[in-house]
Amino acid sequence: MNADPNEVKHMSEADVLILVDEQDNETGSCEKVDCHLGAGKLHRAFSVFLFDPEGKLLIQQRNNNKMLWGGYWANSCCSHPRLGETTHDAAHRRIQEELGAKSELTFLYKFVYHAQFGNVGSEHENCWVFAGHFDGTLNVDPDEIADWRFVTPDELTAEIEHNGDQFSPWLKLEWERIRADFLDQIV
Instruction: Give the pLDDT band (50/70/90) at residue 15.
Output: confident
List the chain domain ranges.
Answer: 16-186
Write phi, then psi, for 45 (nearest 5 degrees). Answer: -145, 175
> Cα-atom radius of gyration of the chain, to the nearest Å?
16
Rounded Cα distance between 69 and 145, Å, is 12
> β-strand 105-117 against 121-133: which pairing, if any?
antiparallel
Q: Check if the beta carbon of residue 11 is closer than 8 Å to that of residue 143.
A: no
Average pLDDT score over the chain: 92
Instruction: Give the pLDDT band (50/70/90) at residue 12.
Output: low
Query: What does the pLDDT average to over 46-50?
Result: 98
Q: 123-134 pLDDT, tens per residue?
A: 999 999 999 999
Does 7 qualify as catalytic in the annotation?
Answer: no
In this structure, the number of other CB atoms found within 10 A of the CB of residue 177 comes to: 14
- 16-186: CATH architecture: Alpha-Beta Complex (3.90)
Rounded Cα distance between 83 and 95, Å, is 18
Rounded Cα distance between 53 and 134, Å, is 7
* pLDDT of amino acid 3: 34
Instruction: Give the pLDDT band (50/70/90) at residue 6.
Output: very low
Query: What does the pLDDT average to over 63-69?
Result: 95
Q: Check if the beta carbon of residue 127 is closer than 8 Å to that of residue 43.
A: no
Chain centre distance of CA 171: 8
Catalytic residue, candidates 125, 127, 144, 174: 125
Query: What does the pLDDT average to over 68-75?
Result: 97
User: Model's pTM, two decimal places?
Assistant: 0.91
Q: 140-162 pLDDT, tens per residue?
A: 999 999 999 999 999 999 999 99
Instruction: Give the pLDDT band (50/70/90) at residue 187.
Output: confident
Catalytic residue, candidates 30, 77, 78, 127: 78
Does the pLDDT at position 165 exceed 90? yes
Chain centre distance of CA 151: 17
* pLDDT of amino acid 8: 35
DSSP alpha helices (H): ranges in the chain?
Answer: 32-36, 87-99, 153-163, 169-181, 183-186
Rounded Cα distance between 184 and 139, Å, is 28
Does the pLDDT at position 10 exceed 60? no
Does 22 qualify as catalytic in the annotation?
Answer: no
